[in-house]
Structure 1
Amino acid sequence: MDHAKTFCRICEAACGLEVQTEGDRVVSIKPDRAHPVSGGFVCAKGTRFAEVAAHPSRITHPSVRRGGELERTSWPRAIEAAASRLRPILERHGPHAVALYIGNPLAFHALGQIAAVFFGRALGTRNVFTAGSQDCNNKFAAAQLMHGTPVIHPIPDFEHAEMAVMLGTNPAVSQASFVHLEGGALTFDRFQKRGGRLVWVDVRETESAKRWGELITIRPGTDVFLVLALLGLFADRGIEDARVAGLETLLELAREITPERAEAACGVSAQQIRALAADIDRANGVAFHQSVGVNQGPFGTLAYVALQALAYVTGNYDARGGSLFSPLGVHGARLARQVGLFTSQARSRIGDFPTVFDSLPGGVMADEILTEGPERVRALVVIAGDPIRSIPGSRRLERAIASLDAVVALDFFESRTGQHADVILPATTFLERADLALPGLPLQTVDLAQTTPAMIPRVGEARPEHEVLAQLSLAIDRPLFGSRLASRVLSKPGLADRAIPALTELAWKLFDRDPARRGHGVPIPTPKPETYLGRGPMTEDGRVHFWRPALDAERARLLAWEKRARPDGFVLLGRRRRIGHNSWLHGGTREGALEGEAWMAPSDLARLGLEDGADVTLRTETGELTMPVRARDGVAPGTVVVPHGELEVNVNELLPSGAAHIEPLSGMLHMTGVPVEVRPGVRVRPTSPEGARA
């Protein structure tokens, strides 16, 4: 038996893992107790990943579909088969006729992410779609408005805060997004142990609220009213600071949203709002954090801007125990701008939505395919993703993808989208490649950029995404970086797997020499208070902008939404799961009952005359699903909670898509608080597990 150290690549936490192998096989994956960052913490997702890597349904050889059936072929023939389908479309209809979809897992493969971005640029298409518009593009849009780049984000300084206010996040189940937690969820154990106060703002009593701190229950999609009301209570402090701009315009809006007005919209009492503001004012350091539960609402961008303004006016911005900013975020943003990343001004053909983080809203993908006209999407390259299962309006999207002239999928399972692929190219799992923890770098407070060697040889003929995309770019005569030489180097099998460990060792010898950190990565600078304002922003005047003309329309939209913030019937909510991740990891074996069930408040079941475990049909304007329902304490009356990305029941069949259901600023789909009808139903038999990704 051999033992090796690596880190998980499912989310930004990048927790340390100890992998036990026997020959080419992974025997077990356990927490790395001596890891210099995670300190032995890891969630169940990472430790179960060997099941995904060795799953019997995994695709390990290139395949081409003939007569509706996949046939194994060689890599050269598979690459040529993909290229021969894409080249005529590019030549006849232009670059925008080929779309690219990049799934969430690729964000955690450094070279794969870089290759995918430059593959889209090599194609010349504006039609790049990612999982971001179902998850976090509001944060990228807000960062662009405020900081002049989508790369710079505030980092909550939990280690030094006296109080933390957490909106729409459940790290007990899913770690946390847009923050790298040192020691994972153990961060909050330490926080409580030293007497810190944690306040969770959410639509239900989440696992995090049960484990740490206290809960403020809020109506779905209305967090922006609470944040603005809090901000309004601090609006008359007379702050004058040449390092910021647009603050007074935002404060004018905040003054209008009084605690009483916010109570009517969001359900949090005016008394609670004033008490929370007083507690924030008294605390010596308050860390604020907003996550997916807010992002997926109708005002994720405005809420993120307002929350940063709240940190600023309370003295918790660029401050110890409040919000910090990473120097790597600033340096990375400058480098990205120099090479032309995240600078696209393209807008979607359907809906005229802006490009955010160099991608368009997934919610218009079906329309971009089905709506006739010049530059209609006719081909799709899918990388580490499953848009059919992950994007709302999934039934219509599946019809659209089935109508395409060509679909190429790069994945390690035949996902729902992959079932429509003409060519499937097998990818490695994170256990089979060397890597760098790139996405967490601008979001972490520790001084280590983690790297890892591959844990096991590549399974079958699987190849990492960067090698495949480099090969495909050469085959269609559109090389990455505009350079055939660079593409040939990047496509060289195993080059990165040899180079990354060698460079890590060299960096350790030159800059570190700490035996406990050897082989784990390279040292990096860490965030420091009072180093960002006036120096870091990449806006045209070097100031943080709390308001831009692009936000003007949000005022009217907010007022219109306020009138319907209290629906008469039920509303639909999503949730994360302990084992699954977005629409991913379903290829792994799971113990216990299937999770394709709805949660409702016990009082709602009693009112509807439904028994715990009965079957219900959920119906929206988009579609309907039938599944078991469970009485669950902590679920707010009037809400129905369904997990995202389940194989047995795909909640995206219920969620609406299209321009009317997309936030204008960021392209985020409205995926929470959707009105839903609940009635008795007949159970739908679960489908067989298959791999799926976000």
Structure 2
Amino acid sequence: MENGTHYRTCHLCEAMCGIAIEVQDGHIQSIKGDVDDPLSQGYICPKATALQDLHEDPDRLRKPVRRTADGWQEMDWDEALDLVAEKLHRVRKEHGRNSVGAYLGNPNVHNHGALIAGMPFLKALGTQNRFSATSNDQLPHMLASLEMFGHQILFPIPDIDRTDLFICIGANPMASNGSLMSVPDFRGRIKSLKARGGKLVVIDPRRTETAKIADEFHFIRPGTDALLMMAMVHTLFEEKLVDLGHAEKWTKDVDLIRLASLGFRPEAVSDHTGLAAEDIRNLARQLANTRKAALYSRMGTSTQAFGGLATWLAYVLNILTGKLDTTGGVMFTQPAIDMVALGAVGGQKGHFGRRFSRVKKLPEFGGEFPSSTMADEMLTPGEGQIRAFVTVAGNPVLSSPNGSRLDEAFSNLDFMVSVDYFLNETTRHADVILPPTAGLERSHYDLIFSMFAVRNTAKYSPALYDAGEDSRHDWQIMLELAHRLEKLNAGGRLPLRMEAGWRAFKQIGPDPILDLMLRSGPYGADIGPARGLVQPAIDLVMDILPQNHPVRGLAKLSPLNRHWQDLPKGLSIKALSQLPNGVDLGALRPCMPGRLFTPDQKVNLAPRRYLADLDRLHELLAQPATMDLLLIGRRHVRSNNSWMHNSQRLVKGKERCTLIISPKDAARSGLQAGDSAEVSSATGKIVLPVEITDDIMPGVVSVPHGWGHDRTGIGQSVAEAHAGASINDIISDEQVDPLAGTSVLNGQSVNVKVWRADRQRKRA
């Protein structure tokens, strides 16, 4: 590795911040923001500086290990891979293909190699018992995109750099840097919004970091966002504020939305939501009357009992007020590698409810069952019971509901393997751990988050460090396992052509595939003068072939498509390697209705599954407003996933794993500053320090996500020293949104009291 400055993209969250890493004699001297990065323009958050800690972490596993009676024992790679493949194959042969389960954590979507290799790996596993972080996170957004726009990852992104009103419901981009909205330097962008006369409005059960810089803030009771938004829809129709703009030509079923909203007057929902009726009306008026405006919702609205409805209604509100596909509203990106269009060409636009889980009968989405039923499928005997399990870059014991039950489930498996470089709360149950290289030891391109960015950019970063001969990238691990499994499934030997294909795939790796996608995408090859000869053929293909024909899809995606003729051209890995700061591909731009993938190329404003689920919302409205104490999670800018807690610079300082509670509820529970509280539910109980503040709505308490490093047998010394408590130990896995199957992580009822040890100390 050469001395000097190396430019990369930080891969620790969705923001894709550009970083400049100063290296001297093989050691990182500093990590700073890259001022020439076209998206982040020099901004970084504290997580980026911890990349060095994660790379140098002495707790990080670097060779395969297996569990023995005397502890963990290192193995060589071929021995480990052979053992894992044989064990998985044996379980599948004895108990059927669905006796193996698989869970993929969210770090996989920050890793183009893992994404590319993941598909053949899952195919070789052959199981329908697949799970991921999706159902604990963004599933309602994916379902709404599939139902309304025809593709599960076609998300409307706020055009925040040109909007004049940004309404943020159940999201905290000051801490997250955006989610399904890659937006580095949110604070700076809001300063610019205000400087041009714009306004930020935040609605949340907690006065978050984002709320504290807002021009207008409203508390809302957890789980009632769908009531609020339906009352806003009601106001739009009642006050004749509906105006779809140019979207009216390609949007259907507006009248069905009007009829659906009739029973949700602002006065009717006020007690449940905690917002005054006039405040609800004013929110609708502001959205309608501000030409450049965007309404954005995220985790707080997604992961609740009405997450599916709330997410759909956020889209509906933007559409009814003419904000879809308009400058300053919500728009679709045009990334250099268009995974939306590529998936559609292969017939992979998404699907929902094709089959249902064995125990709880929950619907699959995109081939995955909800994570809240993982433990059921492992612990419930019968045909199809999961007896072996694979985790890849995930820690569901801390990230999924009822972590204690997952502990029990994983500990009772016949075999478990984890692709992970930490011995954590989940991988401690594995029989074999296969550690991949760390982020700085592999090349990087943001396949996924480029599709969600507030500006179109592209950036490729080669590996900063040589991984070494005795290391394996995660894509290599998955391909090696897939190859072995396919051979075992075929009786020990593959046909020569198939064997040659596997060897070639493993030899070239993901980067040549990435290069091909760049070259064949909208910003790809530029044939210059030859365009005049080729263009008529492309136009003919677009005109004569059916809308859903795969060849037409490839032609549409091609850089030769006339639609892309004004975009920059010539992108490839070689070209991007010569532009280490990345390349700016321009602001978001209108692209409808050509971007739609619905059969009739219209926005389906009122999918029938959402209309049917409104019965539940009416039932909620008919009941008295709850008096229960409701639990919500929270995010901190220094923390994204549980594995970041093993960086000293990320966990140092004031304790962050605390119970946030209002003065009113603290007094009712007998809590004082300095106390520890016992927070309990029917699922379990945890103990953590108390933080009493007016920044949270009375009737609501908050515990952060990702902590709970006090379990035995983990190998993360820094995390153990800052253990905290896991919110998922008190969240029931029985509570899911029946519409989407999403885990209810926000809005479950809890009890709070002074921890008994504190009581005894005070008496003494």
Is the contact made by 2:170 and 2:203 (CA closer than 8 Å) also made in structure 1? yes
| Contact 1:434 1:500 (C-alpha < 8 Å) held by counterparts | no
Alpha-carbon distance between aligned partners in 2 of 1:170 and 1:464, rounded to the nearest angstrom: 33
SS at match of 1:207: coil
SS at match of 2:20: strand
User: Normalised by the size of structure 1, how large is the TM-score?
Assistant: 0.92
Which structure 2 residue ranges, 5 or more long, are not aligned?
526-567, 710-723, 759-764
Asked whether 1:354 is paired with 2:392, we answer no
Q: Structure 1 residues 111-120 or 49-58, which shifts more?
A: 111-120
Distance in structure 2 (CA, Å) of the matches to 1:509 and 1:479: 45
| Mean Cα deviation higher: 341-350 or 566-575 | 341-350
Alignment partner, residue 732 of structure 2: 656
Provide the C-alpha distance between the structure 1 equivalents of 2:146 and 2:514, rounded to a whole number of angstroms: 34
Amino acid at match of 2:421: F
Deviation at 1:419, TM superposition (A): 0.4
Quote the offset at 1:492 in angstroms.
3.4
Answer with 259-268 or 347-356: which moved more.
Answer: 347-356
| CA distance 1:494–1:61, shift in 2 (3 Å) | farther
Other structure's SS at 2:631 match: strand
Q: Residue 643 of structure 1: SS of its match in structure 2?
A: coil
* Aligned-partner Cα distance in 2 for 1:107–1:464: 15
Question: In the alignment, which residue of structure 1 is the partner of 2:639?
Answer: 580
> Which of the residues 290, 305, 321 maps onto 1:314?
321
CA distance in 1, matches of 2:741, 2:321: 30
Alignment partners' CA distance in 2, 1:70 and 1:489: 34
Q: Write the deviation string for residues 178-211 of structure 1: whole angstroms up to 9, x where unpaired.
A: 0122645422222122221000111111111112
Mapped partners of 1:307, 1:343: distance in 2: 21
Q: CA deviation at 1:151?
A: 1.3
Match of 1:612 among 670, 673, 686: 673
Partner of 1:642: 703
| Matches of 2:60 and 2:516, distance apart in 1 | 27
Q: 579-588 or 337-346, which moves further after superposition?
A: 337-346
**Hey, what's the Cα distance between the residues in 1 that align with 2:699 and 2:487?**
53
Deviation at 1:126, TM superposition (A): 1.5
Q: Which residue of 2 aligns with 1:438?
A: 447
Amino acid at match of 1:627: L
1: CA distance, partners of 2:576 / 2:441: 25
Q: Distance in 2 between matches of 1:298 and 1:657?
A: 12
1:259 counterpart (247, 262, 266): 266
Choose from 140, 143, 146 the match for 1:141: 143
1:14 is displaced (CA, Å) by 0.4
Contact 1:427 1:462 in 2 (8 A): yes
The 8 Å contact of residues 64 and 81 in structure 1, kept in 2 or not, is answered as no
Instruction: Determine if the alignment matches structure 1 residue 49 to structure 2 residue 108.
Output: no
Cα 1:84–1:293, aligned 2, differ >3 Å: closer, same or farther?
Answer: same
Tell whether the 8 Å contact from 1:63 to 1:425 is kept in structure 2 after alignment. Answer: yes
2:687 aligned residue (617, 626, 629) = 626
Task: Supply the distance in 1 between the matched residues of 2:747 and 2:509 (Cα, whole angstroms).
Answer: 47
Q: Decide whether the 8 Å contact of 1:613 with 1:629 is kept in 2.
A: yes
The amino acid of 1:136's aligned partner reads Q
Which letter maps to 1:372? P
Say whether the 8 Å CA contact 2:336–2:518 is kept in structure 1. no
- Indicate the SS of the match to 2:654: coil
Matching residue within 426, 429, 433 for 1:420: 429
Output the CA distance in 2 between the equivalents of 1:580 and 1:485: 44
Is 1:305 the counterpart of 2:379? The answer is no
SS at match of 1:388: helix
Distance 1:373 1:68 in 2: 33
Summarize the Cα distance change of 1:64–1:225 in structure 2 as closer, same or farther, 3 Å threshold.
Answer: same
My pick for the range that moved more, 254-263 or 455-464, is 455-464
> Counterpart of 1:150?
152
User: What SS does structure 1 have at the residue aligned with 2:701?
Assistant: strand
Q: Which amino acid aligns with 1:119?
A: F
**Equivalent position to 2:741, from 650, 654, 667:** 667
Q: Quote the Cα distance in structure 1 between the aligned partners of 2:266 and 2:336.
A: 35
Q: Which residue of 2 aligns with 1:388?
A: 397
Q: Take 2:576 and 2:409, find their aligned partners in 1: how far apart are those partners?
A: 55
- Against the structure 1 CA distance between its residues 341 and 525, is the aligned structure 2 distance closer, same or farther, given a 3 Å change threshold? farther
1:411 aligns with 2:420: yes
Give SS of 1:297's match. Answer: coil
> In structure 2, what is the Cα distance between the partners aligned to 1:553 and 1:502?
40
How far, CA to CA, are the matches of 2:421 and 2:95 in structure 1? 30
* Separation in structure 2 between the aligned mates of residue 79 and residue 64 of structure 1, nearest angstrom: 11
Say if 1:337 and 1:92 are closer, same or farther in 2 by CA, change over 3 A. Answer: farther
Which of these residues, 81, 89, 96, is aligned with residue 98 of structure 2? Answer: 96
Shift of the 362–506 alpha-carbon distance from structure 1 to 2, 3 Å rule, reads closer
In the aligned structure 2, how far is the partner of 1:501 from the partner of 1:333? 16
Contact 2:150–2:349 (8 Å) recurs in 1: no
**1:439-482: per-residue Cα shift (whole Å, max 9, x none)?**
12222243322211112222784422111100010111269999
Of 632-641 and 482-491, deviating more is 482-491
Please tell me whether the aligned partners of residues 452 and 519 of structure 1 are also in contact (alpha carbons under 8 angstroms): yes
Contact 1:628–1:683 (CA under 8 A) maintained in structure 2: no
Matched, 1:488 2:503: yes
When the two chains are superposed, the root-mean-square deviation of aligned CA atoms in Å is 2.9
Identity across aligned pairs (percent)? Answer: 28
How far did 1:92 drift?
2.0
Greater alpha carbon shift after TM alignment, 179-188 vs 91-100: 179-188
How much does 1:628 deviate? 1.2
CA distance in 2 between counterparts of 1:386 and 1:291 reads 22
* 1:680 and 2:741 aligned: no
Alpha-carbon distance in structure 2 between the residues aligned to 1:138 and 1:104: 16
- Return the letter of the residue paired with 1:128: R
Aligned match of 2:630 in 546, 556, 571? 571
> Please, which of 463, 478, 482 is the counterpart of residue 473 of structure 1?
482
Cα distance change, pair 372–95 in 1 and its aligned pair in 2 (3 A): same
1:312 deviates by: 1.4
Q: Unaligned 5+ residue runs, structure 1?
A: 685-694
Q: Which residue of 1 aligns with 2:41?
A: 39
The structure with more radius of gyration: 2
CA distance in 2, matches of 1:461, 1:186: 44
| d(CA) in 2 for partners of 1:497, 1:608 | 60
Q: Which residue of 655, 662, 672 corresponds with 1:594?
A: 655
Deviations 1:152-175 (A, max 9, x none): 111111122111111111111111
Q: Which residue of 1 aligns with 2:529?
A: none
- Structure 2 residue aligned with 1:128, among 130, 150, 155? 130
Q: In the alignment, residue 195 of structure 2 is paired with which amino acid?
A: K
Aligned match for 1:546, one of 582, 598, 605: 605
Asked if the contact 1:435–1:500 (Cα under 8 Å) also holds between the matched residues in 2, the reply is no
Q: Structure 1's 515 and 292: CA in aligned 2 closer, same or farther, altered over 3 A? A: closer
Given that residues 110 and 446 in structure 2 are in contact (C-alpha distance below 8 angstroms), is that contact kept between their aligned partners in structure 1? yes
1:536 aligns with 595
Kindly provide the amino acid, as one letter, of the partner of residue 741 in structure 2: G
Deviation at 1:352, TM superposition (A): 2.3
Taking the aligned partners of 1:310 and 1:265, their CA distance within structure 2 comes to: 20
Tell me, what secondary structure is at the counterpart of 1:262? Answer: helix
Tell me if the contact between 2:304 and 2:747 (Cα under 8 Å) persists in the aligned partners.
yes
Structure 1 residue aligned with 2:473: 464
Deviation, 1:280, is: 2.1
Q: Partners in 1 of 2:524 and 2:337 — Cα distance?
A: 25
Cα distance in 1 between the residues matched to 2:283 and 2:608: 31
Number of residue equivalences: 680
Q: Which residue number corresponds to residue 692 of structure 1?
A: none
SS of the residue corresponding to residue 486 of structure 2 reads coil
CA offsets 1:633-652 (integer angstroms, 9 cap, x no match): 31111211111111320110
Q: CA deviation at 1:524?
A: 4.9
Q: Which position in structure 2 is the counterpart of 1:243?
A: 250
Q: 1:478 to 1:284 in 2, by over 3 A?
A: farther
More deviation in 648-657 or 562-571? 562-571
Q: Indicate how the Cα distance of structure 1 residues 576 and 487 shifts in structure 2: closer, same or farther if over 3 A, else same.
A: farther
> Corresponding residue for 1:80?
82
- 3-state SS of paired residue (2:363): coil
| Contact 1:100–1:382, Cα closer than 8 Å, also in 2 | yes
**Distance (whole Å) between structure 2 residues aligned to residue 496 and residue 516 of structure 1:** 12
Q: Could you state the TM-score of these two structures normalised by the residue count of structure 2?
A: 0.84
Amino acid corresponding to residue 655 of structure 1 in structure 2: I
> How far apart, CA to CA, are the structure 1 residues paired with 2:488 and 2:137?
30
Deviates more, 1:187-196 or 1:513-522: 513-522
State the partner residue of 1:163.
Answer: 165
Following TM superposition, by how much is the alpha carbon of 1:548 offset from its aligned partner in structure 2, in angstroms?
Answer: 2.1
Question: 3-state DSSP class of the match of 1:571?
Answer: strand
